Amino acid sequence: MPPRILIVDDDSNICEILRLYLVHEGLELTFAHNGSEALDKFREKAPDLVILDLMLPVINGWEVCKMIRNQSHVPILMLTAKDTTEDKVSGLGMGADDYVVKPFDPQEVVARVKALLRRSVETGPAGGQKHETIGLGNLQIDLSQYIVSCNGEKIDLKPKEIQLLSFLLRNPNMVFTRDQLLEHVWGYDFMGETRTVDVHVKRLREKLEDKDSGCRITTVWGVGYKLETA
């Protein structure tokens, strides 16, 4: 069965452009043109990936993203004209996995969709790690359910935060540049937009700072980040 993609945008021209390029990749497409319809189609079709505009009628894209993320780990690619750093940080913080600004290159969108689908298979709950549990210090990650805990207490992390943390846990005390983390965790060149790594690291630190985890993410100035064990 081909991967199922839900495209949510109220601009029919955008939908048609995406249809032309993504159908060529053998993907099964479903379209929604407002936030309410998007949620209905999401429940009906159970897509493998969502392409989501932010400026939607009825229910805006921010709310749609939050509602989807509350019930699913499905990759979400935000596609929007809102291009400020604050908008990107907000989108990523709500659980989006990637962010493309309009006007866009359709081939770039295709590349990002394929990369997100690939990473979802490799690191998602239904992928090759489905029965695996990893740990370091007092942290444990159950990859079958995407649950992170510290000393038995569950920590609420977004899917991409879990993927980033699991990669660092597998490679303790090793320094990685932002580009390397993008390649290993996001699975592709992020077109120079390395700030997404900083956003996810910042949020991981905030969620782990009060926990007796036995490890911490540190900045190696001028290089990148590493997970230090206590």
What residues contact residue 90 under an 8 Å CB cut-off, 6+ apart? Answer: 62
148 compared with 182, residue with greater pLDDT: 148
Q: Name the residue among 199, 192, 220, 12 with its Cα closest to residue 95.
A: 199
114-118, 150-154, 180-184: which is most confident = 150-154
d(CA 15, CA 8): 8
Predicted local confidence at residue 66, as pLDDT: 87
* Token pair in block for residue 165: 């943390």
Assign residue 95 a region (left: φ > 0; alpha: ψ between -120 and 50; beta: otherwise).
Answer: left
Query: What average pLDDT is seen over the chain?
Result: 85
Query: Is residue 6 predicted with pLDDT exceeding 80?
Result: yes
Q: Between 3.40.50.970, 3.30.540.10, 3.40.50.2300, 3.40.50.1860, what CATH number should domain 4-123 receive?
A: 3.40.50.2300
Query: Is residue 106 predicted with pLDDT exceeding 50?
Result: yes
* Token pair in block for residue 221: 């100035």
Where in the chain is CATH 1.10.10.10? Answer: 133-229
How are beta strands 153-155 and 147-150 bridged, if at all? antiparallel
Q: How confident is the model at residue 187 (pLDDT cuts 50, 70, 90)?
A: low
pLDDT digits (tens, 9 = 90+) for 24-51: 899 999 999 999 999 999 999 999 999 9
Output the CA–CA distances (angstroms, integers) from residue 12 to 32, 33, 109, 110, 192, in the order listed: 10, 8, 17, 18, 29
d(CA 77, CA 34): 16
Give alpha helix (H) positions in the chain: 12-23, 35-45, 61-69, 85-93, 106-123, 159-170, 178-181, 195-208
Predicted local confidence at residue 42, as pLDDT: 94
Where in the chain is CATH 3.40.50.2300? Answer: 4-123
Bridge partners of 52? 8, 78
CATH of domain 133-229: 1.10.10.10
Q: How confident is the model at residue 122 (pLDDT cuts 50, 70, 90)?
A: low
Burial class of residue 70 in the structure, from the number of CB atoms within 10 Å of its CB (0-12 exposed, 13-18 middle, 19+ buried): exposed
83-87, 155-159, 184-188, 209-213, range with the lowest pLDDT: 83-87
